Amino acid sequence: MGPAAGMSPHGPKGATRRGPICAAEASGSTGAPEAPSRYLPRPLTELHDHLRERLLAATTALGLDRAAAAPLVRLDPPKNREHGDVALGAFQLAKLAGKAPPALAGELAAAITADDVIESAVAAGPFVNFRFRRAALARAVLTAVQTDAAPYGRAPASGQVVCIDFSSPNIAKPFHIGHMRSTVLGNSLCRIHRHLGAVVHGINHLGDWGMPFAKMMTAYMHWGNEQELHRSPMRYMFDLYKRYGQEVKEHPALDDEAAAHFRALESGADNQERRMWQLLRDESLQAFQGPYQRLGVTFDHVIGESFFEDKMEAAMARVKAAGVLENSDGAEVVWLKELGIKEPCLLRKSDGATLYHTRDLAAAFYREDTFHPDRILYVVGAEQKLHFDQLKGVLTKMQEPIAKAIEHVPFGLVLSKTEDGKWEKFASRSGNAVFLDEILDEAVAKVRAIIREKNPDLPDADQTAEQVGVSAIVFNDLKNSRIKDVKFDWESMLNFDGETGPYVQFACARLSSILRKVEVPVPAPGQVDFTLLADAERVLLVMLDFGTAVQRAAEQSEPSIVTAHTIALAGEIHSYLRDHYVIGAEPAVRDARLLLVDAARRLLTTGLSLLGIAAPERM
């Protein structure tokens, strides 16, 4: 029942409903002007703060208002690190100053003279490239990581409130591989926004209402057995739903019966439909806890569509009062042609039944009144674009302020390889569902076999296999842009040498091993000669980029930016340790490198945590 693979209860298929990204290369290339961050002041390192203050002083000296200039001073890594450590695009500042961007960039570069932190400032077209002194770079980054200061630790409260609607499976339907994308994307976004100091409400908007559930209920009434239900609830309900799909082809009256059951359920009476709804809902919720626990996913609110049963009339009255509701052949709709949306938003059918849009409108009003959010992110498949365009369109036409908070966070499909080598969507409506718990079990078993072969004496091997196996699947999902389809390929995702979860986790385990084997404790930052880490600049510069990566991941609802950062950091620390020994090095050098190793381990652990992935100490 319910949405197809990868969809939420915001609508069935076809229904009308519901390395880090960097600044443009600073070598004279152009780029689009950037909007100010939603999280200003951004959690930046001591280096960024110092440079930012120097730039604001320079813009003030050039006659710009400091308060107006402050949100426009964004410091990002250039694409080509040979040009500098951070870059400032002068587009917005130039507009404020009424000058050409290259001209203002040149003036700012001339104003920022070298000091104990800044080594150089060079204009390149509309950009200014800055380079930090290497000892200052090492001191600022490693001290901040060691002390858990922002951006490496959680930022102070930003004042932002973000609601994230994710996972949202349908009750009475198995949790399969198609549900995983919304679940892991939403979980990561919750963690990222909290890291940036936002108040986050992670919401599981369960599909426990509507015609899909009514069909499941009808199937159970005809062919259900409660003893079988309790034995294996999700698979049993799935089999019943498949049977309904087959039977309705020969007996179309089943759909009429399902519609009657839904009307009875919506009546609010204490009847057979209400009792069956409660039974199937309870069984489903209990079954969902298994996948959620293994994926490390929790919710602040589990609020199904049924919660809004008694709130839909108020929502409809609000739409009618706004003067935008029209009658169309007995149904109630809102036309949105003036917003470029050709299809009307259907809010009530001619038989009086409500729809996904009705409940989503009620949910939007409830979230506005209860949480007062700045953003409401709906992590739902790309095929639901029209639904969310219509939802936002109705609220916009009603002139409701909450319309600005509505954001659809679309994503692509999960693809599997067929026997003839083609990639196609995992599906469930045709009956070939791939249950997530089976996939997770298979991943864990494959990792356990690798451990037996390569490290048979590993302590807690079963726990490590669980952590690495599950994380490999999650990392594979999050490592590419969310709008792209994910190719589910065992060989690539379990590769310990590629851009995979096991590769990054192995970096954490390797660093942990060094820390265990060294005979001295990790020194405090004040005990280290940072000039001895000039050879670690590539590692340090990736660490420097962490705050920007997390910031952009939140702004663009794109966890892959954080995933790319963990891959880059793992690669750089692996490369560094090939040529630079820690154990056995001269004491002063050993201590400096030991602090670097500890900071890299901490930051990799933090990055993986933002993705919802464990960081084993042994592999």
Which residues face 486 on adjacent strands? 414
> Rounded CA gap, 80 and 67, in Å?
31
Which residues face 78 on adjacent strands? 23
The pLDDT score that the predictor gives to residue 7 is: 36
The pLDDT score that the predictor gives to residue 23 is: 34
With respect to residue 20, please indicate whether it lies within any of the assigned structural domains. no
With respect to residue 309, please indicate whether it lies within any of the assigned structural domains. yes
129 and 218 fall within a common domain? no
118 and 172 fall within a common domain? no
DSSP letters for 518-553: SSSPPPPGGGS-GGGGGGGHHHHHHHHTHHHHHHHH
The CATH code of the domain that includes 402 is 3.40.50.620
265 and 355 fall within a common domain? yes
With respect to residue 41, please indicate whether it lies within any of the assigned structural domains. no
For the entire predicted model, the pTM comes to 0.89
**Computed from CA positions of residues 547, 549, 554, 560, in that sequence, does the dihedral angle turn out positive or negative?**
negative
134 and 170 fall within a common domain? no
379 and 526 fall within a common domain? no
> Rounded CA gap, 611 and 480, in Å?
13
Residues of the chain with pLDDT under 70: 1-43, 426-433
> Residue 56, class by beta-carbon neighbours within 10 Å (0-12 exposed, 13-18 middle, 19+ buried)?
middle
With respect to residue 465, please indicate whether it lies within any of the assigned structural domains. no
Q: Which of 263, 285, 266 is nearest to 170 (CA)?
A: 285
With respect to residue 269, please indicate whether it lies within any of the assigned structural domains. yes
408 and 531 fall within a common domain? no
Give the domain range for residue 106: 46-146
User: At residue 489, what is the residue type?
Assistant: D
Helices (runs of H) and strands (runs of E) counted in the chain: 22, 15
140 and 206 fall within a common domain? no
With respect to residue 236, please indicate whether it lies within any of the assigned structural domains. yes
Render pLDDT for 505-563 as a digit per residue (tens, 0 to 9).
999 999 999 999 998 999 999 999 999 999 999 999 999 999 999 999 999 999 999 99
Strands 375-379 and 406-409: parallel
The pLDDT score that the predictor gives to residue 10 is: 60
Asked if 608 and 562 count as a contact pair (C-beta separation under 8 A), the reply is no
Tally of structural domains, the chain: 3
Residues in contact with 114: Cβ distance below 8 Å, sequence separation at least 6, in sequence order: 120, 121
> Rounded CA gap, 522 and 520, in Å?
7
140 and 259 fall within a common domain? no
138 and 168 fall within a common domain? no
With respect to residue 448, please indicate whether it lies within any of the assigned structural domains. no
The CATH code of the domain that includes 601 is 1.10.730.10
64 and 206 fall within a common domain? no
The CATH code of the domain that includes 130 is 3.30.1360.70
With respect to residue 361, please indicate whether it lies within any of the assigned structural domains. yes
135 and 180 fall within a common domain? no
> Rounded CA gap, 604 and 156, in Å?
21
DSSP letters for 79-139: SSGGG-SEEEE-HHHHHHHTS-HHHHHHHHHHH----SSEEEEEEETTEEEEEE-HHHHHH
Domain boundary at 414, 438, 461, which? 414
254 and 285 fall within a common domain? yes
